[in-house]
Amino acid sequence: MKKLLPLIAILILIITGCGKAEEKAEAEAKKAPAEVTDKKKEAAADKEENSKEWPDSFKPEKDFSVPQTLEEAEKMTPGEWWEKIEDNEWNDSDQIKLAEKIGEIDSLDISEEKRADRVTQLIFKSIYPELPGLGSYQPRENISLETLDTGSNLKLNGREVKENINVAIILDASGSMNAKQGSKTKMEIAKEAINGFVTNLPDNTKVSFTIYGHKGTGDDKDKELSCSSVEEIYPMSAYNASSFGTVLNTVKPSGWTPIAASLTHAGEKLKSFDSASNTNIIYLVSDGKETCDGKPQEVAANLAKSNIQPIINVIGFGVDQSDRSSLETIASSAGGRYISAENQADLEEEFEKSNDSIGKWISWSNEHTSDAINQSNEDTSDLISLNNKTTSRLIAFDNTATSVLIRANNEYHMDPDVYDLVNETIDDFYREIKDQADDDYRAKKEKVDETYKTTKDTIDQTYEQNTGN
């Protein structure tokens, strides 16, 4: 029996241990479902909270503040229902829900200031507008003007070339123009060069073509007839290739050289084109001096002082040395230029330079002026659009907020102090940001205008430096 006692003790310990293990396992089994249930309840509560629709899901922030600057206002996140207002989907049901939430907040047992702050937050987080970015918008700076190489361009006597250009060409049709240079007569060469010149003038240029000495002969008996033969065969008008070519082909060299009379005639035809708004240019192409007893130097000087103030350039084509000084004097007396053209290449080069100078700088000026105008118009349009959107959205916010607040007050009898605090906060915000937006718009509009003026002044100065002043 004594031998069995230790064995019995061991069995008792084993049985007791197994019983405790079973009890522990059973207890843990009962505990597990309870823990799972608690987690499920917690998850369900979170899900329910997250599934709440606005404004029931509203949660106030401790560090909320109403924007004080336009920059802050533009950075603020739009309200939950702003898109509804923007898309005209905001309805009475939405207003009722928001007013009800305001009434709920106003009934809380907290201070007036805290209730007013929460109502303000609710309104901002519900219907605050998306501002379009007027404050961050920056108009463009001055247009960068390309630099043109004008080293080889005719400056047209240092005189400004205006938008309205009238070119009067006077061609010597005296008998000496029948002389040959190579296989062509001087007249043939001159006509080819003139035709090439007028063909390439800017589109808005008016042209006239006058000839002299084309009647009679170089004999003394025909002097009176020839010296009185000055005729504008292409009246001042827009260039027409067919019409101009037709009259050009009719010109035949014949008699004497009435330069003074031809300049007087050209001046008469130009007198209606005042220099205030027109650039009047006379090109006199001759191979010799005056032979009709006129005083072309005096005529040229008087024209330069007249209301038309023409630029007078004299092209001496194959001129003898003895006649050159006379033609140079005509040009200098009017502040013009004398250009010596010994052959066809020289004559064409001179006309080409004139064309380049007129055409290039007019095109340059027009192009950049157009760019400046377009930039000014585009930036102004952008500013107006941004300002209008900012204003209209601030008004929509202010009106909607006021309407909701009034409804909440009428239906839930808000604390007057809370109502006044919220109403004052919203009104102050609207007025302050609206004023800042207006100031910002005006300042940027002034910048747009100043940028255009500065750019245009630069264009005009560059234009005048390269065409004259």
pLDDT tens digits for 100-132?
999 999 999 999 999 999 999 999 999 999 999
Task: Kindly state whether residue 253 falls inside one of the protein's structural domains.
Answer: yes
| Same domain as 316, residue 248 | yes
Q: Is 248 within a domain?
A: yes
Same domain, 210 and 282: yes
For residue 279, the domain's CATH number is 3.40.50.410
Dihedral angle, C-alpha 240, 243, 244, 245, nearest 10 °: 120
Whether 48 is covered by a domain: the verdict is no
Q: Looking at residues 247-253, what average pLDDT do you find?
A: 92
186 shares a domain with 119: no
Q: Are residues 178 and 95 in the same domain?
A: no
The larger pLDDT score, comparing residue 73 to residue 462, is at: 73
Query: Per the domain annotation, does 50 fall within a domain?
Result: no
Residue 143 carries which DSSP code? -
Q: What is the pLDDT of residues 437-465, one digit of tens each?
A: 999 999 999 999 998 888 888 877 776 66
334 and 210 share one domain: yes
Do 348 and 285 lie in a common domain?
yes
- Give me the long-range contacts of 438-444 (CB less than 8 A, separation at least 24): 438/387, 440/70, 440/134, 440/135, 441/134, 441/383, 441/386, 441/387, 444/137, 444/138, 444/139, 444/383
Residue 226 buriedness (CB in 10 A; 0-12 / 13-18 / 19+): buried
Question: If residue 384 lies in a helix (H) or strand (E), which one and from where to where?
Answer: helix 344-412
Place of tokens 């006199």: 284
Instruction: Quote the longest CA-to-CA distance of the chain.
Output: 182
Strand partners, 285: 171, 315
- Is 429 domain-assigned? no
Please name which of 277, 281, 332, 268 lies closest in space to residue 169, comparing C-alpha atoms.
Answer: 281
Last residue of some domain: 319, 340, 361? 361
Whole domain around residue 266: which residue ranges?
164-361
Task: Report CA dihedral (338, 343, 347, 349) to the nearest 10 degrees.
Answer: -110
Domain closes at, from 318, 341, 361: 361
Same-domain pairing of 346 and 201: yes
pLDDT at 156: 54
- Predicted pLDDT at 457: 84
Residues 85 and 183 placed together within one structural domain of the fold:
no
> What pTM was estimated for this model as a whole?
0.52
CB under 8 Å to 462, separation ≥6 — which residues? 145, 364
Whether residues 254 and 305 share a domain: the answer is yes
Mean pLDDT of 211-215: 93
Which residues have C-beta within 8 Å of that of residue 278, sequence separation ≥ 6? 162, 164, 165, 166, 308
Domain count, the chain: 2
Are residue 246 and residue 339 in the same domain, yes or no? yes
Judge if 182 and 297 occupy the same domain. yes
